[in-house]
Amino acid sequence: MESEKSGTARAGVRVEWVVVPSTIGPLLLAATDRGLVSVVFHADERVRERALERLAGALGGELVRSASGLLAGPLRQLEAYFDGRLRSFDVKLDWSLVTGFNRQVLRELAEGVPYGTVVGYGELARRVGQPAAAQAVGAAMGSNPLPVVVPCHRVVESDGGLGGFGGGLETKRKLLALEGVLPEPLF
């Protein structure tokens, strides 16, 4: 996965966005010239409006509805992922919406937890040099602006429980089933 070095939010940035269907419901995708900056689950009209307000506030830029240009690559790769044809994302990422420890944890997750595997919160904390920070890792997962592409669904409890998930546990189950970690639901 290609990662962009990032700074902080910058004035005047153009943010392209689109809502697309997926097997886990509508997803809002947003990108800047630096790369994919946001993926939002369950992007019905109410969720979409709140997410766009947050993006405008955080990035301070112009929001443009578009399914081409900056979003073409991420859209192709997400479609391939949900079709079972892609196991590793290779899109530029704009890390502007996450900083410090959370960014460190999310980068480790993106680069070190491959398709079809899971990692515990404590193990991920150990990997970033903070073995006592399992709860902070959970908070980092909750702040992940790029779910699916930065696979927070692959982080589970040490006892094998699913743990929490910003997109809801049913969404987490579906993503783990897609990757072969869990069986497909019977109905």
- pTM, 2 dp: 0.89
pLDDT average, residue stretch 105-131: 96
- With 0-12 CB in 10 A as exposed, 13-18 as middle and 19+ as buried, what is 148? buried
- At 67 the pLDDT is 65
> Strand runs (DSSP E) across 66-186, as ranges?
119-120, 155-156
Tell me the per-residue pLDDT of 124-133, one tens digit each, with 9 for 90 and over. Answer: 999 999 999 9
- At 185 the pLDDT is 66
- At 184 the pLDDT is 72
Q: Give the max Cα distance, the chain.
A: 49
- Give residues with Cβ within 8 angstroms of 49, minimum separation 6: none
- Banded pLDDT at 66 (limits 50, 70, 90): confident
State the catalytic residues: 152
- Banded pLDDT at 160 (limits 50, 70, 90): confident
How many Cβ atoms are within 10 Å of 102's Cβ, its own excluded?
Answer: 20
Residue given tokens 């990757």 in the structure block: 179
- Give residues with Cβ within 8 angstroms of 62, minimum separation 6: 12, 13, 14, 15
Is 146's pLDDT higher than 70? yes
Is 159's pLDDT higher than 70? yes
